[in-house]
Structure 1
Amino acid sequence: MKICTITCHDVYNFGASLQAYALQHYLKSLGHEVEIIDYRPSYLYKKYDWKAFTNKKLERINSIFITRWIFRCAKWSYLRFSLGRKKRFDEFTQKYLHLTPTTYHTFAELQHNPPQAAIIIAGSDQIWNPLFPNGKDPSYYMDFALPNTKRISYAASFSVNEIPNAYKTFIKALLLKMDAISVREYQGLHILKDLGINNGIKVLDPIFLIDKTEWTQFMNRYNDKNYILIYDFEGNALLKKTALHFKKKYGLKIYSINDALPRFYADKNFTNVGPQDFIGLIYNCSLFLSNSFHGTAFSIYFNKPFYVFGLTGFSLNSRMDSLLRTVSLENRFINEYTKLDNLCMECDYEKANQAIKKETILSKQYLSNMIN
């Protein structure tokens, strides 16, 4: 049948691109015709627009001619370091993501000309995060769908522990219009129950729907071995300290995947890389250190030693907490109280692999039941 998905599919983020591909690929493998709704709201697609402000706190700068152009020049200087990265993502999207012929920029456009599909699936990733504009956008709750179109979610994420009171009524009303709801975190189930919705279930992120051998065939291969791989969104001081600790202890080099500027303490920096490089670098590493949800998910799937770091100043660590609880690896989360001398490279994956196998069966069964 014809299925459409809606997610944050092309925001120059490794996890966003790979989860969008994974759900599409799995549904196609079941014999369905699948399109990702090419929804590009302005608030999500400002990253590589050198004239756009991505932070509302900086909007005042835009009203002053001199500061506006100082900001634009500074942003262009920053972006030029990662134009090769942008190219790799654009190539990935063009080659692997089957998008709707129509590109939509607003909820009104989706309402005026909704995609024709038997089912629309919302998810995965942080599409319902109320701290971000997408969590308050009715598009990601499929409120534009035609009356005869089935609306379900797959592994949708709120990314927070609770919904602010100001948005509860709005979000609940949209969720009640859906035919079935599945979320990615335990905290998502608690949020649903708090809203009076008791029929939600927890499923695995879409990357686990694809067999790991398929991922190894899909990834870009690297010959490098015996390195610590870091992927750090925010220049986390504890992550840096931990990487240097393991480097000294085991004599391994540090490789860093970057969004733009390099990590100067790393022996090798990878900036102009795409989603398939991301998987390949994780697959080959000896240890993965990151505050990336999907990076951690792939390291678990490939049974790589890893440690997770929280995002400073954000209430988004429920994603990591839930994933680690699911696979009984809570001890791989590092905080400021962790004693580095007590950390080791070894990681016992017996329980984790059993949990992934069990949860994958349940996740696939949910999709099968909803589609059929």
Structure 2
Amino acid sequence: MKIGILTFHCAINYGAVLQAFGLQEYLKEMGHEVYIIDYCPEYLKASYNIFDWKWSHDFSFITNVYFLIRKIMTIPLRIKRKYSFIRFSNRFLNLYPYELCCNKSNDFDAFIIGSDQVWNPKITNGFDKIYFGKFPASQGKKIISYAASVGSVLNLEASFDKFQKLLTSFTSISVREKSLAELIIKNYKLPVSITVDPVLLLGQSAFTAISSTEKKKKKPYVLVFQLYYTESAILDNVIKKVVSKKKLAVLKLSASSESLFDKNLLSAESPQNFLDLFRNASYIITSSFHGTIFAILFQKDFNTIGFNKIQSERMNDFLSSLGLEHRLISNNSQIATDTINFSDVNKRLEKLRTLSDNFLTTALS
């Protein structure tokens, strides 16, 4: 079967490109001919411009000049980061020109939407119909969502009716979060499955095979991974406790921001180096959903930081399914730093993988 995947593959975001790779490779293992449809909307590309500074009337002249100088000084980092992702995509993703999907006449058998937050209206500037199968090439084809996400059901509060109409395009629906599945079943009476992120569906060996062999630290280290590099008293407290108890060095990683002053922050690593850093870490602290996914993939003790209600909702949904909800840290929660029993986690994860494989097999049959 010839399958086209539509997801956030062109984002300069480790989780986005690696989950796209994960689904592509898993479908290939199932025996399908698989392509990533190279749909790169402007709202995604604009977020990762090498130079995106604008004068702000909310700031003083001096503050504006400061931010301008900072943006100029970080251009080399942004260039390095952007082109490392382009090289990864060209090497590992089987890209198919989106323009060819504007023709009703094509030989695709199915299109899979997801995973990632392709239905989050706050990311896609309102709902993007392309991620609901609304494009010429999809007519008469199987339209399947795999582990699609809205980020949080709170993001749908003003759009329930529109979301329901868009879902009617799908021949089969699966989502990433239990809360979204429950909302769809309760309010829209549509059949829906919960499927595991493609990273965990594909498994560890495939990602180990494409990771770099470059070690960033000789000393054992705790890897602190944030999608956006921010200061946080909660995060600092967790780092302090883990470092004190485990006697580890600290290595910080971010994919969407940079610092001119924090020498421990890596912000221009390739996806292959990202995998290497997770694979060789002794402990992981992260505020990222996919940071949590990769900690589990590589069987690392970890803590996930939930900075807000929306973020904590999707983290808790996933971690609870594996019996790891105690690893989620919020303002008033205890910090669990004990060794994780991955034997139990892997049994639960295998059940989720089986359900996910069954969903894809049935949806594509």
User: Scaled by the length of structure 1, what TM-score is found?
Assistant: 0.87
What corresponds to 1:84 in structure 2?
80
Aligned ranges 1:208-357 → 2 under 5 Å? 208-223=200-215, 224=218, 226-232=220-226, 233-235=228-230, 236-259=232-255, 260-262=257-259, 268-312=264-308, 315-340=310-335, 343-357=336-350
What corresponds to 2:25 in structure 1?
25
In the TM superposition, what is the alpha-carbon distance from 1:113 to its structure 2 partner?
A: 6.5
CA contact (8 A) 1:134 1:140 kept: no
What corresponds to 1:368 in structure 2?
361
Alpha-carbon spacing, 1:70–1:139, altered in 2? closer, same or farther (3 Å): farther
User: Scaled by the length of structure 2, what TM-score is found?
Assistant: 0.88
Give the AA of the match of 2:208: T
Specify the SS of the correspondent of 1:317: helix
Give the AA of the match of 2:276: G
Specify the SS of the correspondent of 2:206: helix
Specify the SS of the correspondent of 1:136: coil
Q: Distance in 2 between matches of 1:115 and 1:316?
A: 39
CA contact (8 A) 1:256 1:263 kept: no
What corresponds to 1:122 in structure 2?
113
Q: Distance in 1 between matches of 2:192 and 2:66?
A: 48
CA contact (8 A) 1:161 1:187 kept: yes
In the TM superposition, what is the alpha-carbon distance from 1:50 to its structure 2 partner?
A: 4.7
In the TM superposition, what is the alpha-carbon distance from 1:194 to its structure 2 partner?
A: 4.0
Q: Kindly indicate whether residue 48 of structure 2 is the aligned counterpart of residue 34 of structure 1.
A: no
In the TM superposition, what is the alpha-carbon distance from 1:255 to its structure 2 partner?
A: 0.6
What corresponds to 1:188 in structure 2?
180
- Shifted more, 229-238 versus 14-23: the winner is 229-238
Give the AA of the match of 1:212: Q
Q: Distance in 1 between matches of 2:170 and 2:152?
A: 21
Give the AA of the match of 1:253: A
Q: Distance in 2 between matches of 1:263 and 1:206?
A: 34
Give the AA of the match of 1:250: K
What corresponds to 2:60 in structure 1?
none
In the TM superposition, what is the alpha-carbon distance from 1:70 to its structure 2 partner?
A: 8.7
CA contact (8 A) 1:163 1:191 kept: no
Specify the SS of the correspondent of 1:133: coil
In the TM superposition, what is the alpha-carbon distance from 1:300 to its structure 2 partner?
A: 1.1
Alpha-carbon spacing, 1:265–1:239, altered in 2? closer, same or farther (3 Å): farther
What corresponds to 2:9 in structure 1?
9
Specify the SS of the correspondent of 2:122: coil
- Shifted more, 157-166 versus 28-37: the winner is 157-166
The share of aligned pairs that are identical, in percent, is 31
Give the AA of the match of 1:189: A
Q: Distance in 1 between matches of 2:238 and 2:261?
A: 15
Alpha-carbon spacing, 1:171–1:269, altered in 2? closer, same or farther (3 Å): same
Q: Distance in 1 between matches of 2:111 and 2:6?
A: 7
Query: Number of aligned pairs?
Result: 356
In the TM superposition, what is the alpha-carbon distance from 1:143 to its structure 2 partner?
A: 1.1
Give the AA of the match of 2:162: F
Give the AA of the match of 1:167: S
Q: Distance in 2 between matches of 1:186 and 1:146?
A: 27
Q: Distance in 1 between matches of 2:105 and 2:275?
A: 34
Give the AA of the match of 1:280: D
Give the AA of the match of 2:115: S
Gaps of 5+ in 2: 58-62
Q: Kindly indicate whether residue 151 of structure 2 is the aligned counterpart of residue 159 of structure 1.
A: yes
Q: Kindly indicate whether residue 323 of structure 2 is the aligned counterpart of residue 358 of structure 1.
A: no
CA contact (8 A) 1:228 1:253 kept: yes
Give the AA of the match of 1:360: R
Aligned ranges 1:94-133 → 2 under 5 Å? 94-102=90-98, 116-133=107-124
Q: Distance in 2 between matches of 1:95 and 1:356?
A: 29
Give the AA of the match of 1:354: K
CA contact (8 A) 1:126 1:157 kept: yes
In the TM superposition, what is the alpha-carbon distance from 1:83 to its structure 2 partner?
A: 2.0
Q: Distance in 2 between matches of 1:73 and 1:282?
A: 32
Give the AA of the match of 2:360: L
Q: Distance in 1 between matches of 2:262 and 2:156?
A: 39
CA contact (8 A) 1:48 1:79 kept: no
In the TM superposition, what is the alpha-carbon distance from 1:163 to its structure 2 partner?
A: 4.8
In the TM superposition, what is the alpha-carbon distance from 1:37 to its structure 2 partner?
A: 1.1
Give the AA of the match of 2:44: L
Specify the SS of the correspondent of 2:46: coil
Q: Distance in 2 between matches of 1:25 and 1:132?
A: 26
Aligned ranges 1:168-183 → 2 under 5 Å? 168-183=160-175
